[in-house]
Structure 1
Amino acid sequence: MTRTTDTHPNVDTNEGASPKPRLKTSAMIASIAAEGQRTKPAPFGHALVELAKSRPEIVGMTADLGKYTDLHIFAKEFPDRYYQMGMAEQLLMGSAAGMAHEGFIPFATTYAVFASRRAYDFIHQTIAEENLNVKLACALPGLTSGYGPSHQAAEDLALFRAMPNMTVLDPCDALETEQMVPAMVDHQGPVYMRLLRGHVPLVLDEYGYQFEIGKAKMLRDGADVLVISSGIMTMRALEVAKSLEADKVDVAVLHVGTIKPLDGETILREAARSGRMVVVAENHTVVGGLGEAVAGLLLRSGVTPKFRHIGLPDEFLLAGALPTLHDRYGISAEAMTTTIKGWLG
């Protein structure tokens, strides 16, 4: 994987100001796949097309981002069921609500930042409050873009978790993304999915994985550490588990594909096993995401393991190449391995 130097000696031009290290931003790497990693192209777009062949009520809608949310594949196959709303996310959400009122199942796509910040009130009032059958598939979740706070949706889970009636999904890889599409259609009510687009890593097929809404799945067991993770952090956690085998550290990985509703039964059962440190790992700010959801669940239930949290800091993140950013903010496999080894002493 190509990496850039973490900092360079740019300094503030104000006289007497101390040097301020800044990230180089010349290489905006958009892929979350490591070099040589297995991938599948546009799993969401292809899965939606296959399902729509037998479900004529499915329509695709976007706000000028069809190509960048893989919805262009649907548009090519079903041009009469594709609606391009222009650069107007609020209009997109209001129109999706109207389509749902008429019995359609709209898949509305945009970037996660635009759904969670720009169109939040429209989703809250016209979709969630009415408990409408609208499916939101939103790309660039968490730190999966190098283009700074304008495109980094580091707080989307906190916002959508707080919305009544909203189901919140965070897929790990291409396989889970494909499996989520029919599950979203079968589920009655609004769904928010963090969309992995483009060439998406393929990981979970090695574990016989099958997605179910509301169910966490144990991918591997281990006696020393339990990592509870969602999204791409499950991919990282599996890498960490293999890396720590060399240090005779036995790591279990529990994947939480559904952030809301949370699978409290499975999480409590696994966290209550004695002798294991529990680490929640998420590609989201440490405020309001999976970590705080799990911590609250454990505290309310009287389950008190040694608990640690890996997530993005509560700050506006820098721009730069993704590998550099993931290292800097502690969510790369290498950074996670170092952190967990430090916690184990």
Structure 2
Amino acid sequence: MAKEATRAAYGKALAELVQENENVVVLDADLAGSTKTAEAKKVCPERHFDMGIAEGNMMAVAAGMAASHKIPYASAFAVFATGRAYDQIRNSICYPNLNVKVCATHAGLTVGEDGASHQSLEDIALMRALPNMKVFQPCDGVEARAIVKAVADIDGPCYVRLGRLAVDTVNDPDTYKYEFGKGIVMKKGAKVAIIATGMMVQEALKAAEQLDFDPTVININTIKPIDKDLIIETAKTHDAIVTVEEHNVIGGLGGAVAEVLADQKERCPQYMMGVKDEFGQSGTPAALLDAYGLDAAHIAEFIQKL
């Protein structure tokens, strides 16, 4: 199927949402063309607000709108949405448990040539640690559209992590259904389970094809609350778990899975693949995934050694 960036799917879903739900409002920090919220502006300009390069103020305004019974979708690049606006997200949105949807694009290494200053590799950790915040990361455009629409009906703060790069579509648009807090077994296998999130799901599926045995591949699209039951069952039925994420190994998906397994008497070894507590660098997405050992070939090589 055709490739699509999750940020592009976000724009399409948002354009539909503002027409379907009169309470949905859209805020952007001077990046509507890049975050794709411009799609919503085209169909409903009176409910699209460009807040300028002032992410903290944007989050505070979103909080006020939520307190006035609106459903604000606030967007910027992930590094700015979670970094520059962390204080406002914490104290103005999460503390009073307001119904704001922070939909951040350009997350992870695959921002590419923009380099370390724009590659958010710690945003999941920041958002996951906040009380009341729920954290999502779709793997493709089909899942992105479903999650963007679903969070409108999920009460309270939500963080949706979206990417710049066009990625393979791995879900069937005619049959896919998003279920809040539930992981998806994309490929049923044995011995090793690869638990991935975001575009790493595609890399995990490609890696599985390169191995001389059939591993299980699981898509965790809701990182908080995470699917504890699926993780525990997977740990009981496999010899090892490998988590794969386009994020720092500290505080992200790997940490979330480890927290689940830490409370279990019966558990298998877990290995984490991700960025090893360092900043990114400038380069093409493919070159960066190779450099940080996160493409399909590196994943397959790592698992084969297990």
Q: TM-score range by the shorter chain?
A: over 0.9
Which residue does the alignment assign to 1:60?
A: 26
Q: Deviations over 1:109-133 (max 9, x none)?
A: 0010001211100110000111111
Q: Could you say what secondary structure the match of 2:303 adopts?
A: helix
AA of the residue aligned to 1:196: G
For the residues of structure 2 that align with 1:310 and 1:40, how far apart are their CA atoms?
Answer: 24
1:164 aligns with 2:131: yes
For the residues of structure 1 that align with 2:168 and 2:134, how far apart are their CA atoms?
Answer: 24
Which residue does the alignment assign to 1:130?
A: 96
The verdict on how the C-alpha distance between 1:126 and 1:110 changes in structure 2, with shifts beyond 3 A counting, is same
Task: State TM-score, norm by structure 1.
Answer: 0.85
Q: Where does 1:159-308 land on structure 2 (aligned, <5 Å)?
A: 159-197=126-164, 199-205=166-172, 208-244=175-211, 247=212, 249-274=213-238, 276-308=239-271
Which residue does the alignment assign to 1:322?
A: 285
For the residues of structure 2 that align with 1:78 and 1:127, how far apart are their CA atoms?
Answer: 25
For the residues of structure 2 that align with 1:140 and 1:133, how far apart are their CA atoms?
Answer: 23
Task: State TM-score, norm by structure 2.
Answer: 0.95
AA of the residue aligned to 2:106: L
- Give yes or no for contact 1:70–1:198 (8 Å, CA) kept in 2: no
Q: Could you say what secondary structure the match of 1:45 adopts?
A: helix
Q: Deviations over 1:59-100 (max 9, x none)?
A: 111000100001011011101010000011011101111111
Q: How far does residue 47 in structure 1 lie from its aligned partner after superposition?
A: 1.1
Q: Which piece of structure 1 moves more, 43-52 or 130-139?
A: 43-52
For the residues of structure 2 that align with 1:75 and 1:198, how far apart are their CA atoms?
Answer: 22
- Give yes or no for contact 1:112–1:153 (8 Å, CA) kept in 2: yes
The verdict on how the C-alpha distance between 1:240 and 1:198 changes in structure 2, with shifts beyond 3 A counting, is closer
Q: Could you say what secondary structure the match of 1:196 adopts?
A: coil
Which residue does the alignment assign to 1:95?
A: 61
- Give yes or no for contact 1:227–1:252 (8 Å, CA) kept in 2: yes
Which protein is bigger by CA-based radius of gyration?
A: 1
Q: How far does residue 197 in structure 1 lie from its aligned partner after superposition?
A: 4.7
For the residues of structure 1 that align with 2:38 and 2:28, how far apart are their CA atoms?
Answer: 10
Q: How far does residue 199 in structure 1 lie from its aligned partner after superposition?
A: 4.1
AA of the residue aligned to 1:256: I
Whichever structure has more helix as a proportion of its residues is: 2
For the residues of structure 2 that align with 1:128 and 1:121, how far apart are their CA atoms?
Answer: 10
- Give yes or no for contact 2:27–2:73 (8 Å, CA) kept in 1: yes
Q: Could you say what secondary structure the match of 1:301 adopts?
A: coil
Q: Deviations over 1:155-204 (max 9, x none)?
A: 01111010000000011000000100121001000100002357453112
